[in-house]
Amino acid sequence: MTNKEAFELAKQVMPGGVSSPVRAFKSVEAEPIVVRRGFGAFIEDIEGKRYIDYMLSFGPLMLGHRPDVIVSKILEALDKGTSFGITNLYEIELASLIVKATKVIDKIRFVSSGTEAVMSAIRLARGITNKPYIIKFDGCYHGFSDSVLVGAGSGVATLGIPETPGIPKEFASFTIVFDYNDEDALEEAFTKYKNQIAAVLVEPVAGNMGVVLPKESWLKKLKDITKKNDALLIFDEVITGFRLSLGGASEYFGIEPDIVCYGKIIGGGMPIGAYGAKAHIMDRVAPEGPIYQAGTLSGNPISVASGIGLLKTLISDITIYDVLAELMAYLTYNISSMLSQKGIPHKINEIASMFTVFFTDKDVIDFKSAKTSDTKLFGKFFRNLLQEGVLIPPSQFEAWFLSAAHTKDIIDTTLEKIKKAIDLL
């Protein structure tokens, strides 16, 4: 079967042929591929064509596809059963690994996705502070739940959807949206909504409008202003957790949030999410406290075992972070040189092992500036790369990722392919 034939079948039984919107490759106007398998830094479609993968399932695959350390751990857990609805030892081990690595949390609750993690963190913040409003930032994505889809990044940004039908205006009215990196607006909000703001929710490095770095003074401001106003600071580290460093963005920037959300990497490619905080906050969650949150498959043994395989590898060899940062710098430096040689305006935002090539001449510091990018040109770049056998995220407003499976040789091969893709722009 060809990709096209399979995708036609998919479209008959799944809306848009996909289980999540960006996968339809719409904004880049490309024919979607249908995947057969992945190995290391590569994925292969059902026609047998191979691609060097910089999408990496949108971030979880820090070691690449199906590394032995994760596969063996999954098989070990699978041998004992797939789900119990009862606390298992793998859960305790993964919780301990995360708590120890991140330093800023004492306890953690597992859920099944990043969406659930953020949704639960917001409920916790509202439950503790007894206040209704949350502040979020334009272009940040925190999953698809009702309160956080306003001004959202990721697929919402990619498809240019201003508002989603199905969310009553009243629900969304409790979410206040500001520009990323804008310090002044915050003061005004805390004056206007005095004693009504439960939390400030932020991607400490934005990954869902493309990579946008926080001004350090701004992150500090978020910390200070929440503290001063008895609001909670929620770091959505679904992408940055264990991606920037073992302690995520809070360690990287030395800012301590009140609640941290995780997902993606901590499941090593299996469905997962989690939220954690100091004990006095987490002990307000049921059954210890009154704030209810639950999940039939939460703490699923296969997902947590997969996460253990990945996290243990990172913890036992933290040089991975330096190696990846160096390879990424080499890759982005060369991409930038090639684009410059062709006279193509661009800005590359990068940190640790994630980056985005924006086709704009403006500094990208928030969603407004990200949107100055030439998305038509990005679409062409994406299609040219796909043709050459390089898979990057199918949107200008997503992050590219590197994994430990991306060797210097693979990067050099990528650069040759990128050169061809740029020559054809």
Ligand X SMILES: *Cc1c(COP(=O)(O)O)cnc(C)c1O
Segment interacting with ligand X (CB under 6 A) among 184-192, 200-208, 340-348, 382-390: 200-208
Question: Judged by CB under 6 A, which of 25, 133, 141, 218 binds ligand X?
Answer: 141
Residue 267 in contact with ligand X, rule: CB under 6 A? no
Contact 320, 314 (CB under 8 A): yes
Of 11-19, 137-145, 313-321, 404-412: span binding ligand X (CB under 6 A): 137-145
The gap between the terminal CA atoms of the chain, to the nearest Å, is 30
Give catalytic status of residue 51 as yes or no. no
Q: Which is nearer to ligand X, 202 or 421 (CB)?
A: 202
Q: What is the DSSP string of 46-107?
A: TTS-EEEESSGGGTT-TT-BS-HHHHHHHHHHHTT-S--SS--HHHHHHHHHHHHHHSS-SE
- Pattern 268-287, ligand X, x by CB under 6 A: -----x--------------
Q: Cα-atom radius of gyration of the chain, to the nearest Å?
A: 21
Closest CB to ligand X among residues 49, 123: 123
| 115 sits near ligand X (criterion: CB under 6 A) | yes
Exactly one of 208, 349, 360, 403 binds ligand X (CB under 6 A); that residue is: 208
Question: Footprint of ligand X on residues 80-109 (CB under 6 A)?
Answer: none
Catalytic-residue membership of 141 = yes
- The least CB distance from residue 352 to ligand X, in Å, is 15
Does 113 bind ligand X (CB under 6 A)? Our answer is yes
Q: Is 62 exposed, middle or buried (0-12, 13-18, 19+ CB in 10 A)?
A: buried
**Shortest Å distance, C-beta 110 to ligand X:** 13
DSSP output for 381-413: HHHHHHHHTEE--SSTTS-EE--TT--HHHHHH
Q: Which of 136, 142, 243, 406 binds ligand X (CB under 6 A)?
A: 142
Quote the CA–CA distance of 156 and 141 in Å, as a whole number. Answer: 8
Q: Which of 263, 276, 299, 393 binds ligand X (CB under 6 A)?
A: 263
Examine residue 239 and tell whether it contacts ligand X (CB under 6 A).
yes
Q: Which of 51, 133, 141, 275 is catalytic?
A: 141
Q: Which of 236, 275, 347, 371 is catalytic?
A: 236
Q: Does 257 bind ligand X (CB under 6 A)?
A: no
User: According to CB under 6 A, which one of 135, 234, 238, 244 is a site residue for ligand X?
Assistant: 238
Q: Within 10 Å of residue 105's Cβ, how many Cβ atoms?
A: 26
Q: Which of 317, 313, 331, 322 is nearest to 244 (CA)?
A: 322
Tell me which long-range contacts 281-289 makes (C-beta under 8 A, separation of at least 24). 281/124, 281/128, 281/232, 282/105, 282/106, 282/107, 282/108, 282/109, 283/107, 284/124, 284/127, 284/128, 285/109, 285/124
Spacing of C-alpha 101 from chain mean position: 19
Comparing every residue's Cβ against ligand X, the nearest one is 114
Question: Catalytic site residue 131?
Answer: no
For ligand X (CB under 6 A), the number of binding residues is 15
Window contacting ligand X (CB under 6 A); options: 236-244, 334-342, 352-360, 389-397 = 236-244
Binding of ligand X by 143 (CB under 6 A): yes
Q: Minimal distance in Å, beta carbon 190 to ligand X?
A: 24
Q: Verify binding: residue 405, ligand X, rule CB under 6 A.
A: no
CA contacts within 13 A on the Cβ side of 164? 18
Residues 6+ apart with CB under 8 A from 271: 112, 113, 297, 300, 303
- Active-site positions read 141, 236, 264
**Residues of this chain that bind ligand X (CB under 6 A):** 113-115, 118, 141-143, 203, 207-208, 236, 238-239, 263, 273
